[in-house]
Amino acid sequence: MKTLNIYVTKAFLATFLTAIGILTFGMTGARLMKVFEYISSGVPATNAFLFLIYVIPTVLTLTIPWAALVSVMLVFGRLSADNEITAMRASGVSILQIVSPIIMIAFFLTCLCLYLQLQVGPHYLGKARAMVRNVLIDQPTAIFEPGLPVKFNDLLIYIGGKDGNKIHEVQVYRMNDDNGSWQQDVTAATGIVKVDKTQQILQVVLYNATIAAYEGKTVRHTFSRELTFTINYGKEFRADKVTTRDKFLRVMEILARLSLEKKMGRDTTRLEVELNSRIALALAPIAFLLLGMPLAIRTSRRETSVGLFLSVLLAGIYFGGVMVSDVLRDNPGCFPQYLVWIPPALFQIFGAIYIFKIARR
């Protein structure tokens, strides 16, 4: 029996370590490109890679349960396809005895995910955001990225490309504060970004700019050889740090804010959704084991592609179901703080029933 447990555990851990390495690298790929962009914009490499390290705990909260699901699907699918499960059961070893070490590993992974979700991940995600804000104060030109909008007060700026402090294919929209409609639409082939770090003022100077001014239903076009937009970027970035957002709070900070909000008679749905979502996501390793293991045994396929497809499907349903509540957090009437528990409950109930059905055969 001990030999069988070691055999199954080794196969699971080998697949798990491979899967978590691939998934973590894949999910940090976009952020890694962001790091290289910061470095190319003049941001110190140490700060850029420190930003990547700060976001890894949050990434692990998703990749750990997903890697566990992939491992369960691949390992037990192969064992079943090779009739090893049948041979073990014919020798008097029950399914529960076979999976007992995997259940212990899943319990440990769940505890680790809880710690990352409630303590480590939000804290370091907040530090990553603060680092980005400080980097942009020191290197404000890094905020301009080709194809992505940059918003300052009533200005929305797009650029097609940049070369140092020179920008190309520039489009600037100015919004009317009174009614929210567009007031100006400015286009220019080239421009330059000037920075005064002492005053923390940024100037976007456009050359040969075409200006479309909206006056009711009338559009008036003018031309300017040189047009300057002045932005107080220091004030803008620091104004965002008035309160800490819910997703950056640790569990005790959320509970303290919950208590305070209740005493003040305010709606606490957003905070309850945040806390419940973190716990539900942390319970994913147990839920994935309970449903994934019997499903892998029943499919009995050696093909890696089948196991990967099923793991992606199950993980998508679980994570998507939990995150739907985040979309509904501004609608207390939908009770999103309770809806978040539907995917974990369904996965664990159906998984447990499925396992016991197989064990009784």
pLDDT, one tens digit per residue, over 29-58 is 767 776 666 666 666 777 777 888 888 999
Cα 197–chain centre separation: 32
pLDDT in tens, 118-166: 999 998 888 887 777 666 666 666 677 777 777 777 788 888 888 777 8
Backbone angles phi, psi at 234, to 5 degrees: -65, -45
Tell me if 252 sits within 8 A of 232, measured CB to CB: no
- Lowest mean pLDDT, pick from 67-71, 205-209, 296-300: 296-300
**Range with top average pLDDT, 84-93, 95-104, 342-351:** 342-351
Q: Which of 151, 233, 238, 150 is nearest to 198 (CA)?
A: 233
Q: Of 284, 244, 324, nearest to 72 (Cα)?
A: 284
β-bridge mates for residue 328, sequence order? none
Q: Where are the alpha helices (DSSP H) in 139-283?
A: 233-239, 251-263, 269-282
How much is the pTM? 0.74
Q: Which of 25-34, 187-196, 283-292 has the lowest mean pLDDT?
A: 25-34
